[in-house]
Structure formats: C-alpha cells, structure tokens
Amino acid sequence: MDDLIEFLSGIEIFSDLSDDWLMHLSQASELIEYKASEQVISTRDLYRYLWIVYRGKVDISGINQENARLFLTSLNAGDVLGELSVTFDKPVIDDITAAEDTSVIRLPKDVFSHVVAQNPSTLKKIACMATERQIQRGQNIPPRAGYRSRFTDNPDPYDLNFSSAKKQVKLLIINCGSSSLKYSLFDTSSPQPMFEGLIENIGAENSPHRLKTVTAKIQRSEVVKDIREAFSSMVNVLTGKAIGVITDFSEIQAVGHRVVHGGDKFSGSAVINDEVKDAIRQCVALAPLHNPYNLTGVEVMTELLPSAVSVAVFDTAFHQSMPHQAYTYALPYQLAEERHVRRYGFHGTNHHFVALMASVFVKRHVGNLRIISCHLGNGASVCAIERGRSIDTSMGLTPLEGLVMGTRCGDIDPGLVLYLLQNGDSADSLEKTLNKESGLKGTSGISNDMREILKAADEGNDKAEVALRMFCYRVRKYIGAYLAALGGVDILIFTGGIGENSSEIRARICQGLDSFGINLDTESNRMAKVQRGNIADISTEASRIRILVVAADEERMIAREIIRTVDTLRA
C-alpha cells in the first residue's frame, strides 16, 4: 500500500493531493497484470476507469477508414490512460495492448471523479493533460492516414441504443413509490421498451393499472392492497397469456432500480449488495418519502429474481461532480459535515440523458459542449452541464429548492420558515404547505396542472396569469445565472412534461433572452412535437445557442446504466 501511495504521489496530476486523498485513491485501485500482446483496454470499456501504467509498456492503436489497425504511440510506467474518457464522459476510441509483460493500475471513474471534484488543482491538471493529448493526436496522425472519428461515425457513441449489450438481454426497470409501482421491460435489441406498466393508488379500494405495449395501450382496475400485491400483479401481467411478453419471469437477467437519494456516497450507478442497501438506508433521513420505498422495491425484486443482478441508479449521482462552491451551504462547517447538509440535486438521470441525446443530435461530443437543461414538469429543475458534467443545479438538499413547481414553492427566504414557526405553524404543517400546497397550485388557486392554468389564464384569470409569470420568470432567471456560471452556452434544452409539450411556456421563458444569443423560432416552437427518442430544434438560424426540445426517458437511461455497470451483460 505504501509503495502504491508513493507511486501515485509521483504522478503529475496527483502531485498536489494530500496523503489522505492518496490513501483514498490507493485503496480504491486495483493492480492488474498483463502478458505481452494481451489487450488492456478496448472500446468495450465505456469510460469506467482511469488507467496508469505501473510497470512495463503499452501500445496504443486506432482504426483507419479501411478498418485496418493504425499504431499511434507507446506509453511507459507512470503514464496515464483513459483521461479523455473519464474527463469528458467519452467512450474509449483506441485499443491499448501490453507491449511486454506489464502491470497497470485500474482506478474506478467514480472514485477518480470524486477526488477531482474536491481538488481544483487536480481538475486543472487533468483538463490540461486531456487537452494536450487531443492536440498531440491531431499532430501525430497524418491527415491521409484516415484515422476514423468513432464519435462522428458511431451511430451510438454513448451506448444509448444498448449497442454494447449482448443481444436479447432482458432488463426490468423498477420505480417503486409509496403508493405506486412503475415498471418497464426492455429487450436490448431495441432502445424502446417492450412493455410498460403503472399501478397507482396502491392500498385504495381501486388501483388503476395502466399498461402499454409496442402496439396498444390498456387500462384496467384491480384491488391492490399493498406493494407486494403490486409486484405480484406486475409478474402476472408480464407473463400472462392475455398480454404477457415473456414466458417466464426468470428470463429477466437484470433489474435497474431508480433510487432518489444516494447522498454523497455515489457518483454513479452501483450493483446492489448489502453495503449499497445500507447506504440507501442511511439516506432515508434525506429522502423519507422516497428511499424507504425504493429499498422495498429492491428487497421484493431480490425475492422474485434471486439470480438476477440488481443495479441502483441514483437521481443524485450525476450532480456529484458539482464543485464545493456550488454544493456548499454557507452554514457552520461542523454542522454541515455532521448532518450531511449540502446541495445534492435531483433529476440527474434525465439531465444526463438529454445532454447525451443533444450531443448526438448536434454531432458534437458532449465533452466539448456547455449545456443548460430545463427539466420542467410537476417537479422541475435546471442543470448547468459543462463538458458532460453537472456543475450546478437548482434543487438542493431536497427537491424543494429552486424553481416554482406544481405544488412546491421553490426558492424562499429561510427566514420565512422561522417567521411561520414563531407564529404558530408546526413543522408538519409547514412541510405540507411548502411541498404540497404551494407552487402553481398555491399561487393560482386552481391546480398544479399547467394545462389547466394556461386555460384559466387565457380566460382572463389574473391569479393563473401571475402563476405563469412566476414560473417562467424563475426558469429564465436560472438560465441567466447558469449562462454566467458556464461562461457561455452552446445548447439550451427543454425536457419533462411541460418542457416537451407547452410551446407557450417555452416561448415565455425565452422571451427577452435574444441579447444572450437565444433566439426562438416561433413557428418551429409551435409545431414542435417530441416523443420518446425524438428531438426538435426550435432555434432560428441566427441563434448562437441551439434551443432543443428533447423527450425525457429515464427508463432508457437506467437500462443503459445497467449495461454499463454490469460487465457480464456486455458483448
């Protein structure tokens, strides 16, 4: 261990790290031996590790337009591999082979990213290294060598269509709530789900069960007393003769669970074991309305499919790359540390997904883009994404912070809470007021449904109009803040139920942003209709910033995360 720490301290990008951070890196590292000519990294390794040559030498080669191998360079002990992949969330584009008997340190991306996020000098060094490598690649590869850009030529550079998966792998996506169970079944030969189901009002006298196949939508009612009965109903539907799409439930090889809160423990998805379950349980205090039920879903599915691998995909994980100044509240340090009080952010799975989809659409790598993603629905948040990483987001310790939402108030003066407490309100009543009776519903006095508020405003309802203006103003204000935080923007994304379906809300939000290079095309905006897998460009030709409407698809992103996390599912 001491030898490894000493070795890492000699690597330039790690030279400024404290002994504690070096110990953290060394404990997470794995030393792997390779024989001469044995492959170390291939394009199957989808930006999951940083590699460092410990002893020996490796050769790096690419593929030319004729699919012939093209030697690029060799690296020796102390040289770093995969920095472009982990820095820019970019697929490996080269094959790396041991030129002789070689030892390589393999460091998980999640650990490396966490260390970099906490150490600005290390971030600067790795960014400089990545830039220099890109320049060297351009200089070292002769223009006529025909080195193929696997990003521009690859129809699925981020594995969003599951191209790295074994064919016909069946994946089940579970989103288990307090009174609902949402599920989707994927066959990895297609990015579209084979089957989707939603059971609501669990425990009530009547529980609607909405079903959607590739060809039809079905709704039926049933009595579902508790969550276990809901899972039984799901199994019966999936395997039943009337609607079922699989013969036996054991055909499912892996299960992905949406978990709302991973705290500061997870910066990526994780295969579920006892340690991961304990970590989810420890975050219950931070998400008491979600994590307990997410965990119940994990436990029930383990009983139903004991041989299937389970993966937790955390809403908070994407935002773990936020720097200190973005996630820290200006509170006493000891209090924040002891109680894990910080900004975590949510909707990370979809913010990440739409950023990757937008990157493919504009044919520019996400590592070269600055993106503002507006996830607008009953729950709403804005995210600033720089080089594929979240650097700030509007939600905080809980989903209550930030934008005006369907029933949540968003940003308020903390003194207001103290004022109401001092004047007779209880903590329980305040929780209900701020989370369930505020936002669009509270200010309009009508509903939390944007469609109803738009209709009322059109009919002259002043309160509805005020609610609309507040909603759009808050989004526009965050866009302006993140323009400053990013130092400029390449793409503005609208996603989520409101963001995808309301042309009027998009137009109101973009109004007055022309001077920043955000120019909305009125007709394109009015005609924009997106469904799963679709993108609409609603910017004018003169707009410096591309304005895109991208359909949300958290289930597809969770399926992709399963494949990336579980080695045995990749071809």
How far is it, in rounded angstroms, from Cα 412 to Cα 426?
A: 18
CA distance 565 to 528: 35
Give strand pairing partners of 183.
Answer: 174, 197
Strands in 389-393's sheet, in edge-to-edge order, are: 389-393, 380-386, 370-376, 491-495, 546-550, 535-537
Contact by Cβ (8 Å): 177, 212: no
Does 377 belong to an annotated binding site? yes
Q: Is 500 annotated in some ligand binding site?
A: yes
Q: From the CA atom positions of the chain, what is the Rg in Å?
A: 25
324 carries a ligand binding annotation: no
48 marked as part of a ligand binding site: no
273 in a labelled binding site: no
Residue 436, annotated ligand binder?
no
Question: Cα 121 vs. chain centroid, distance in angstroms?
Answer: 25
529 burial (CB, 10 Å; 0-12 / 13-18 / 19+) is exposed
Q: Are 446 and 456 in contact (CB under 8 A)?
A: yes
Task: Confirm or deny that 470 is annotated as ligand binding.
Answer: no
Determine if residue 146 is labeled as part of a ligand binding site.
no
Query: What's the number of CA atoms in the CB half-sphere (13 Å) around residue 546?
Result: 18
Q: Is 175 annotated as a binding residue?
A: yes
Q: Which two tokens mark 507? A: 């137009």
- Whether 554 has a binding-site annotation, put simply, is yes
Distance between CA 134 and CA 525 in Å, rounded?
A: 37
Annotation-wise, does 449 bind a ligand?
A: yes
Residue 497 known to bind ligand: yes
Question: Is 89 labeled as catalytic in the residue annotation?
Answer: no
Rounded to 5 degrees, what angle do the CA atoms 486, 489, 491 make?
135
Residue 36 CB-half CA count within 13 A = 3
Q: Which of 59, 89, 95, 315 is catalytic?
A: 315
Count the Cβ atoms, other than its own, within 10 Å of residue 422: 8
The verdict on whether residue 368 carries a ligand-binding annotation is no
258 is annotated as contributing to ligand binding = yes
Q: Which of 403, 388, 374, 386 is nearest to 518 (CA)?
A: 374
Q: Is 370 marked as binding a ligand?
A: no
How many residues comprise the chain? 571
Residue numbers in the known binding site for ATP are 182, 375-379, 449-451, 497-501
Catalytic residue list:
315
Residue numbers in the known binding site are 175, 182, 258, 375-379, 449-451, 497-501, 554
Residue numbers in the known binding site for Mg(2+) are 175, 554
Residue numbers in the known binding site for substrate are 258
